[in-house]
Amino acid sequence: MKKIIKNGIIVTASDTFQAELLIEDGKIAQIGSNLSAIGAEIIDANGCLVFPGGIDPHTHLDMPFGGTVTKDDFETGTMAAAFGGTTTVIDFCLTNKGKPLKNAIQTWHDKSKEKAVIDYGFHLMISEINDDVLNELPQVIDEEGITSFKVFMAYKNVFQADDETLFQTLATAKDLGALVMVHAENGDVIDYLTKKALAEGKTEPIYHALTRPSELEGEATGRAARFAGLANSQLYVVHVSCEDAVQKIAEARNKGFDVWGETCPQYLVLDQSYLEKPNFEGAKYVWSPPLREKWNQEALWNALKCGQLQTIGSDQCSFDFKGQKDLGRDDFTKIPNGGPIIEDRLSMLFSEGVKKGRISLNQFVDLTSTRAAKLFGLFPKKGTITVGADADLVIFDPNVERIISAETHHMAVDYNAFEGMKVTGEPVSVLVRGEYVVRDKQFVGKPGSGQYLKRAKYSMNTPLNQGETLSIK
């Protein structure tokens, strides 16, 4: 059914304007004033902003880790994402050494197909490069539309790839048209420091942070960026947490290297002191990289403001405090890493960023949606409001105040990392391809309605080189 959104202020990464939107066949068919309302449902967005749906480029739904599995799967995770104004997620598909990549990808399709309520794509983890992998990668790109690879420089003996593998992945991705994503921490030194801490009886959550100092993130970020420059390839550094890593990204970009950086809401508003909360509560705040000393937050905000970091991911990776995080009660290395952020990503950035004057409204849209669409081969179908684009839209009340709490959130996990924090702004209604998923703050979507997205190859010059032109019909 046709829909017309009236009376809202439309915000894209470049413009802010008052107009009506006509939605037809799941796409934005017209943008204008006094549009013909015959046969159309009218949506009154008076007092609200209308954004392109958020794109979360970094989620771990239904992912096995450390002897357990993340609490939120593709159903609860994407429902919570929708409540938070996100209409597309790109999730990390884990692979197993020595096994065909297509098996891993099939596993991820099985996890998501009947469950997702918003659209989704996959990044593919690369842990080894050999003839089998090299033979399979062109199909991964052409048939599955998976155009981004993830390499871990940390988690020794679990996910960690060596430098040779990272460099080969960068060189291969250059040839194939994929973007290489790295988790940049020096896993070897961290392995030494964690063993040493445990041998000294240092088992509490705070030692998770103290054994992963920011120097080791800066070092790995700089190393990966130099490899990208040497391979003349493209690199995206996930979850940048500290000034040290920001500087390495800025340095690489100043040299003309094709290097991008993402940070996450948790690094912008939480800090290392949370890991010292009593009664093991610090475990709720165990991420890798860890939360940093508070002064890093200003560096991260400035990097977002001046474009040294370009995207905001959630790194959604939720584990219950009771029954999962407590696997590490006697040993911080056994605390499952990660937290529940998918739902609050936009609200936190809007409230702490836009409302507090740290970033502009248009930067907010770029950081939470448009830039990720461009980098990950979804633009202009996703990530903007223009004629012919998918009608993935968020109707957002910028003035409502609320308190974030696990009692009211929609994630399946038993705590919220931002518990008790007051934020300004909340999505009222969220549409995916023109259909309501959230309507007046109520879930009206359907598990399985989310579509798998085959993504275009990486190109610096999006979208012209992608060969896609939008049309209404």
Q: Which is nearer to Zn ion, 116 or 238 (CB)?
A: 238
Quote the tokens at residue 330. 């006697």
Distance of CA 103 to the CA centre of its chain: 24
Q: Which is nearer to Zn ion, 159 or 350 (CB)?
A: 159
- Closest separation in Å from C-beta 150 to Zn ion: 8
- Chain residues 125-184 in contact with Zn ion, contact rule CB under 5 A: none
Q: Which is nearer to Zn ion, 70 or 87 (CB)?
A: 70
Separation in Å, CA 466 to CA 141, 186, 281, 429, 458: 13, 35, 47, 31, 8
- Closest separation in Å from C-beta 235 to Zn ion: 16
Q: Which is nearer to Zn ion, 119 or 315 (CB)?
A: 315
Q: How far apart are the C-alpha atoms of 172 and 147, rounded to whole Å?
A: 12
Count of chain residues binding Zn ion (CB under 5 A): 1
Which secondary structure element, helix H or strand E, spans residue 183, and what is its range?
A: strand 179-183
Q: Which is nearer to Zn ion, 24 or 344 (CB)?
A: 344
* 324 three-class SS: coil
Q: How far apart are the C-alpha atoms of 279 and 273, rounded to whole Å?
A: 14
Q: Which is nearer to Zn ion, 315 or 366 (CB)?
A: 315
DSSP for 198-232 reads HHTT--STHHHHHTS-HHHHHHHHHHHHHHHHHTT
Burial of residue 203, with CB atoms counted within 10 A of its CB: 0-12 exposed, 13-18 middle, 19 or more buried: middle
Collect all residues with Cβ–Cβ distance below 8 Å to 218 and sequence separation of at least 6. Answer: 242, 244, 245, 247, 248
Is residue 185 part of the contact set for Zn ion (CB under 5 A)? no
- Closest separation in Å from C-beta 180 to Zn ion: 15
Q: Which is nearer to Zn ion, 315 or 426 (CB)?
A: 315
- Closest separation in Å from C-beta 430 to Zn ion: 24
Separation in Å, CA 241 to CA 118, 222, 301: 28, 14, 11
Residues written for the chain = 473
Q: Which is nearer to Zn ion, 185 or 315 (CB)?
A: 315
Residue 420 near residue 413 (C-beta atoms within 8 A) = no
Q: How far apart are the C-alpha atoms of 233 and 149, rounded to whole Å?
A: 13
- Closest separation in Å from C-beta 288 to Zn ion: 8
Q: Which string of x and - marks every residue 30-59 that binds Zn ion (by CB under 5 A)?
A: ------------------------------
- Closest separation in Å from C-beta 315 to Zn ion: 4
- Closest separation in Å from C-beta 238 to Zn ion: 6
- Closest separation in Å from C-beta 124 to Zn ion: 14
Quote the tokens at residue 427. 């999505």
Q: Which string of x and - marks every residue 290-329 that binds Zn ion (by CB under 5 A)?
A: -------------------------x--------------
Q: Which residue sits closest to Zn ion, CB atoms considered?
A: 315
Q: Which residues bind Zn ion (CB under 5 A)?
A: 315
